[in-house]
Chains A and B, each alone.
Chain A
Amino acid sequence: MEKIFSFFLDNREAIFLVILSVFLGIEVISHVPAILHTPLMSGANAIHGVVIIGAIIVMGHADTTGSMILGFLAVVLGTLNVVGGFVVTDRMLEMFKKKK
């Protein structure tokens, strides 16, 4: 029990942030029309590419050949997620735009 309390105290800011973000995520997209489901999914897909920051940090402090290779791979995959995600979403949305 003591452990859980101290965990909470150590991480209270992060826990707050998580709870608020959960509600925010629900609130932000709860009124989305069905036609935008696909682009929205794709856009959200690109945003979780933020994992690339973690990949950069890992790679930036790697010192053995093994971790260099894995880090390099992580950055490549993260970039794929980010760039591919945003470009695909833009390509989808571009098509809606033409008519307006």
Chain B
Amino acid sequence: MDQIAQYLTGSAILEITYVVASVLFILGLKMLSHPLTARRGNILAAFGMGFAIIATIALHRKDGEPIKNIPWILAAIVIGTAIGFYIAKKVKMTAMPQLVSFFNGMGGAAAALISMMEFPHIRPELIAEHGMANGHVLAILLGLMIGTVSWAGSMIAFGKLDGWIGDLRVKAMKYVNLTILAVLIGFIVFIMTRHVHTSTELMPYIYIMFAVAVVYGVLFVMPIGGADMPVVISLLNSFTGVAAAMGGFLYNNQAMLTGGILVGSAGTILTVLMCKAMNRSLLNVIVGVFGGGGESAVQAGGSIKEISLSDAAVLLSYSKKVVIVPGYGLAVAQAQHICHELDKLLDEKGVEVKYAIHPVAGRMPGHMNVLLAEADVPYEQLVESDEINPDLPNTDVLVVIGANDVVNPAAEDDPSSPIYGMPIVKARDARNVIVMKRGMGKGYAAIENMLFFNDKTRMLFGDAKSTLQNLVNEVKSL
């Protein structure tokens, strides 16, 4: 009797912990969407996760059997924590997008592994009663498929953002991908319609399905251009959420179910919001082959004019209003600190300096804000592009540092351009434009930028960090 009471208390406490964890996830996510509460929200969600993990290890029962192998589980958690903590602390802020992608992939892989291990353990009684076509089997197969695609896709996204995997742009890709997707769904139908006594008999198909899902994940991300990677990561993020929720179905576990679905739906909305910021549809991102094309500068008959460092320093120092448009080039050169030094210096000379932040500046929406915040640039100096655009005609100098597509007038002028319709910082409205750039290479979207050929524009070639350093020295010596 005592034992039964103890057992009941244990499962009640476990379920209550799951409820608490779910509430903390929801609150955490809610608080994460407001600047003032974001950090606490994150910590709150982390506590929810901690409670759920501890309670599961201590109280979970499967057919009355407690969790075994606890030393091994703890060892795995210690290893995962050590590695995760180390990577998360060490990686540079510029590499943040690929890091999110990497961790996302880990979650997807875990979900896929769970499915693979649960499949041979499907109860024969369940199969005898319902056949293979039941919710349990479906949850396992979907968890395997979505988790694997998310893992493989995230790894490719990680490699692309890190620059060691290029794009694969072939028109036929979308048909290939649709075919593979159909094959994957075919596998699910095939496995669920088999008549078997035990699920172990079907394990070879599970391995093949896993392999096909890996191929699909790779090919799904391969043709998508680097500029669209944030959208893809966000999408894969919601995939992993759904894969985790499948685990929730499997174990009848409410914390996994709410946590997973919450991320699945929030992630989908976030993906759509990101697409909106770039004025593109999700479908266009996934199947569209992006980049290239557009008007060529030679045809337009423009020419490039350079500016010397000392001229640039004089121009900036005697301006009233300066707007800086930072891009990924600034971030990779790690030039955000020296950039802030320049704006402080100008500020001392009575120049008003603002930063124009395009929604997709950097590699992810909000990425540039994080980078500039890291360099201690005050929050009030960062202005979103929509808000600063009306102000630009009164701006003496607009300095573009390592940005390209977000100031490309083709988005307004050239209906044939792939970025046509994307909101931009209307750089050419400013009285003078200085563009700091490494060379005449095209931007991430590989489109010619007519701004560089504009009469108002002067180019300042070189690495963003050393150029800014030299500029700071010039301004100081004035």
Which residues does A use to contact B, with CB under 8 Å? 3, 7, 10-11, 14, 17-18, 21-26, 28-63, 67-68, 70-100
B134 within 8 A of A: yes
Which residues does B use to contact A, with CB under 8 Å? 21, 25-26, 28-30, 32-36, 38-39, 41-43, 45-46, 49, 52-53, 56-57, 60, 62, 65-70, 72-73, 75-77, 79-81, 83-85, 87-89, 91, 93, 96-97, 99-100, 102-104, 106-107, 109-111, 113-114, 116-118, 130, 133-135, 230, 233-234, 237-238, 240-241, 243-245, 247-270, 273-274, 277, 357, 359, 364-367, 369-370, 373-374, 376, 378-379, 382, 384
CA distance A92 to B376 in the complex (A): 13
List the B side residues contacting A23 at CB < 8 Å. 265
Q: Please, which residue of chain B has its CB at the minimum distance from the CB of A18? A: B261
CA distance A3 to B36 in the complex (A): 49
Question: Is the CB–CB distance between B28 and A93 below 8 Å?
Answer: no
Q: Please, which residue of chain A has its CB at the minimum distance from the CB of B49? A: A82
**Which of A7, A37, A54 interacts with B365 by CB under 8 Å?**
A37
Given A48-B107, A58-B114, A83-B81, residue A18 in contact with residue B245 (CB < 8 A): yes
Question: Is the CB–CB distance between A60 and B60 below 8 Å?
Answer: yes
CA distance A89 to B49 in the complex (A): 15
**Which of A3, A17, A59 interacts with B73 by CB under 8 Å?**
A59
Given A41-B270, A41-B364, residue A47 in contact with residue B25 (CB < 8 A): yes
Question: Is the CB–CB distance between B110 and A47 below 8 Å?
Answer: no
Given A60-B68, A61-B65, residue A37 in contact with residue B243 (CB < 8 A): no
**How near does chain B come to A87, taking the closest CB pair, in angstroms?**
4
**Which of B34, B73, B107, B251 interacts with A75 by CB under 8 Å?**
B73
List the A side residues contacting B102 at CB < 8 Å. 84
Q: Tell me if B's interface is mostly helix, strand, loop or mixed.
A: helix
Q: Please, which residue of chain B has its CB at the minimum distance from the CB of A7? A: B135
Question: Is the CB–CB distance between A34 and B81 below 8 Å?
Answer: no
**Which of B100, B106, B357 interacts with A78 by CB under 8 Å?**
B106
CA distance A31 to B273 in the complex (A): 10
List the A side residues contacting B134 at CB < 8 Å. 7
CA distance A87 to B70 in the complex (A): 25
List the A side residues contacting B103 at CB < 8 Å. 45-46, 49, 80-81, 84-85, 88
Question: Is the CB–CB distance between A36 and B113 below 8 Å?
Answer: no
**How near does chain A come to B203, taking the closest CB pair, in angstroms?**
12
Q: Please, which residue of chain B has its CB at the minimum distance from the CB of A83? A: B84
**How near does chain B come to A59, taking the closest CB pair, in angstroms?**
5
Question: Is the CB–CB distance between B233 and A82 below 8 Å?
Answer: no
List the A side residues contacting B238 at CB < 8 Å. 44
Question: Is the CB–CB distance between B33 and A79 below 8 Å?
Answer: no
Among all A-B residue pairs, the 3 with the closest Cβ atoms:
A79-B80, A25-B265, A60-B67
Q: Please, which residue of chain B has its CB at the minimum distance from the CB of A41? A: B234
**How near does chain B come to A32, taking the closest CB pair, in angstroms?**
4
A-B contact pairs, 5 of them (CB 8 A): A47-B25, A48-B237, A62-B68, A86-B46, A96-B39
Question: Is the CB–CB distance between B114 and A48 below 8 Å?
Answer: no
Given A18-B261, A56-B60, residue A49 in contact with residue B107 (CB < 8 A): yes
Question: Is the CB–CB distance between B366 and A53 below 8 Å?
Answer: no
CA distance A34 to B383 in the complex (A): 12
**Which of A21, A51, A80 interacts with B84 by CB under 8 Å?**
A80
Question: Is the CB–CB distance between A54 and B26 below 8 Å?
Answer: no
Question: Is the CB–CB distance between B113 and A29 below 8 Å?
Answer: no
Q: Please, which residue of chain B has its CB at the minimum distance from the CB of A66? A: B117
Question: Is the CB–CB distance between A28 and B30 below 8 Å?
Answer: yes
Q: Please, which residue of chain B has its CB at the minimum distance from the CB of A75? A: B76
Question: Is the CB–CB distance between B80 and A76 below 8 Å?
Answer: yes
Given contacts A29-B29, A43-B28, 6 further A-B contacts (CB under 8 A): A30-B269, A38-B370, A55-B113, A60-B60, A77-B107, A87-B88
**How near does chain A come to B206, taking the closest CB pair, in angstroms?**
13
**How near does chain B come to A82, taking the closest CB pair, in angstroms?**
6
Most interface-central of A31, A52, A71 (chain B CB within 10 A)? A52
CA distance A82 to B116 in the complex (A): 21
Question: Is the CB–CB distance between A93 and B38 below 8 Å?
Answer: yes
CA distance A57 to B76 in the complex (A): 13
CA distance A24 to B266 in the complex (A): 8
Question: Is the CB–CB distance between A37 and B76 below 8 Å?
Answer: no
Question: Is the CB–CB distance between B26 and A24 below 8 Å?
Answer: yes
Q: Please, which residue of chain A has its CB at the minimum distance from the CB of B234? A: A41
Question: Is the CB–CB distance between A21 and B76 below 8 Å?
Answer: no
**Which of B46, B244, B254 interacts with A51 by CB under 8 Å?**
B244
**How near does chain A come to B119, taking the closest CB pair, in angstroms?**
11
Question: Is the CB–CB distance between B33 and A51 below 8 Å?
Answer: no
**Which of A35, A43, A59, A81 interacts with B32 by CB under 8 Å?**
A43
Question: Is the CB–CB distance between A50 and B259 below 8 Å?
Answer: yes
Question: Is the CB–CB distance between A47 and B369 below 8 Å?
Answer: no
Question: Is the CB–CB distance between B366 and A39 below 8 Å?
Answer: yes
**How near does chain B come to A29, taking the closest CB pair, in angstroms?**
5
List the A side residues contacting B70 at CB < 8 Å. 60
Question: Is the CB–CB distance between B254 and A17 below 8 Å?
Answer: yes
Given A83-B88, A87-B88, A88-B88, residue A54 in contact with residue B111 (CB < 8 A): yes
CA distance A1 to B270 in the complex (A): 36
